[in-house]
């Protein structure tokens, strides 16, 4: 409070609060980025030496991956359907039934599949991860691990990063397939486009494997950044249980923001 008051009285009257806030925000962002980079270096150094806990990896793959299947199924089936509903007026007006498969496929594989799957998992998996690690920090379980001469990065963080990236990659692949399936059936129900015609539109040569590839590259980039963010915010929790709440919040916001920013850059460069 005192620092804030001193800063605002020392600076010129023109909106000192805004400048102060902007500076603080930039500083905080730089700190987070620095922390995540450091964490990445540490995780990679454990990865190349194969120093990570196998059991913890399996537990996290199950918790993150298997348990996320229902939510991925529901969202991707409906997403496919929604794409068709949006395309319906144009398809009808120009009688472009043959292009429906291409349109749905292009949007889904390159953009909607990876984007929506990442957003779904940031809420489910990322938030959960931060809460779990944050609770371990405030209850001194991380210190207890270090006191037992066990490295928290290889025991807790590296397995979570691997599990998160794997889960997001597989879930995206899975969501792509399901969304196209949903789109094909919505096309049949709403526009009388035979699934076979839809399939032909999808495979007629306008779409290539590189479209699938772009989406999957995105999912890996998202996975790395989201897993690092969720572990970073979890491990740096301060101030007991309320601190865990703030960290979870920070993870969800930072993940969503970085997904969109990274999506822009990956789309631009590929």
Partner 1 sequence: MISFRNVKKSFGPKAVLKGVSFDVNDGEVFFIIGASGVGKSVLIKHLIGLLYPDDGEIFLDGEEVSRFDEERMYPVRKKCAMVFQHSTLFDSMSCVENVMLPLKKHKGMTDKEARDDALKRLKQVHMREFADRFPSELGDGMRKRVAIARALTLDPTYVLFDEPTTSLDPVSARRVDHLIRELSDTVGVTSIVVSHDLVSIFSIADRIVMLYQGQVKMLGTRDEFRSTPDPIIQQFINGRAEGPMET
Contact residues for partner 1, defined by CB under 8 A: 59, 132, 135-136, 139-141, 143-151
Shortest distance (Å) from residue 30 CB to partner 1: 22
Which residue, 118 or 136, is less far from partner 1 as judged by CB?
136
Distance CA 263, CA 257 (A): 10
Those residues whose C-beta lies under 8 Å from the C-beta of residue 115, and which sit 6 or more positions away, are 218, 259, 263
Distance CA 230, CA 143 (A): 19
Which residue, 155 or 233, is less far from partner 1 as judged by CB?
155
127 close to 230: Cβ distance less than 8 angstroms: yes
Shortest distance (Å) from residue 135 CB to partner 1: 8
Which residue, 20 or 42, is less far from partner 1 as judged by CB?
42
Which residue, 59 or 246, is less far from partner 1 as judged by CB?
59
Closest CA to 187 of 70, 99, 106, 71: 99
Shortest distance (Å) from residue 243 CB to partner 1: 16
173 close to 107: Cβ distance less than 8 angstroms: no
Shortest distance (Å) from residue 199 CB to partner 1: 45
Which residue, 3 or 148, is less far from partner 1 as judged by CB?
148
Those residues whose C-beta lies under 8 Å from the C-beta of residue 137, and which sit 6 or more positions away, are 234, 235, 236, 237
| Helix 158-191 × helix 195-203 angle, to 10° | 130
Shortest distance (Å) from residue 143 CB to partner 1: 5
């Amino acid at each position: 409070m005192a620092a804030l008051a001193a800063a605002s009285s020392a600076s010129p009257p023109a909106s000192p609060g805004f400048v102060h806030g902007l500076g603080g925000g930039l500083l905080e962002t730089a700190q987070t980025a620095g922390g995540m980079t450091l964490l990445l270096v540490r995780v990679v150094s454990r990865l190349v030496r194969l120093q990570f806990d196998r059991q913890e990896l399996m537990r996290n793959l199950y918790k993150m991956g298997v348990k996320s299947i229902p939510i991925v199924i529901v969202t991707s089936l409906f997403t496919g359907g929604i794409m068709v509903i949006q395309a319906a007026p144009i398809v009808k007006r120009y009688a472009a039934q043959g292009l429906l498969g291409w349109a749905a496929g292009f949007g889904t594989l390159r953009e909607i599949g990876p984007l929506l799957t990442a957003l779904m998992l940031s809420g489910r998996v990322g938030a959960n991860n931060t809460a779990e690690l944050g609770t371990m920090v405030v209850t001194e379980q991380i210190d207890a691990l270090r006191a037992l001469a066990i490295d928290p990065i290889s025991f807790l963080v590296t397995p979570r990063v691997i599990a998160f990236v794997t889960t997001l990659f597989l879930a995206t692949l899975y969501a792509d397939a399901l969304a196209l399936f949903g789109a094909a059936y919505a096309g049949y129900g709403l526009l009388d486009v035979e699934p076979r015609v839809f399939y032909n539109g999808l495979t007629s040569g306008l779409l290539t494997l590189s479209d699938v590839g772009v989406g999957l590259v995105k999912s890996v980039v998202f996975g790395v950044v989201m897993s690092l963010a969720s572990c970073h915010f979890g491990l740096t929790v301060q101030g007991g249980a309320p601190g865990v709440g703030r960290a979870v919040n920070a993870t969800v916001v930072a993940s969503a923001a970085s997904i969109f920013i990274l999506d822009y850059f990956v789309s631009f460069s590929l």
